[in-house]
Structure 1
Amino acid sequence: MTVTNIQEIEFAHAKSEYYPDCKIGLIALRTDHLVEDAMRSLLCDSGVSIITNRITFNDPINKENLQAMELDLERAVTDMLPGKQIDVVAFGCSSGTVAIGEKTLTEKIRKIKPTARVTNPVTAATSAFSALGVKKLTIITPYISEVNKAVAQFFTDKGLDILNITGFNVMADADITRIDPAAIKKAALEYVHPDTEALFLSCTALRSIEVIEELEEKLGIPVITSNQAMAWHALQLLGKHHAIRAGGRLFSLDVNVS
Structure 2
Amino acid sequence: MTKNKFAYSLVLLTGLFLLSQCSPKIYSSANTEFFVLGSEIKEDPNLRNFVAPYKIKLEAEMNSVIGQTKETILKTGTGETPIGNLVADLQKEYAEEYFGYNIDISIINNGGIRNTLPKGNITLGNIFEISPFDNYLYVLELNAEQVVNLAEFAAQTKILGINGLYIESQSEELTKLLVNGKQVEEGKTYLLAVNDYLANGGDGMDMLTDLPRKEQSTILLRELLIDRIKLRTSRGEIISAQIEGRQNFK
**What TM-score, normalized to structure 1?**
0.23
**What TM-score, normalized to structure 2?**
0.24
Which one has the largest radius of gyration?
Answer: 2
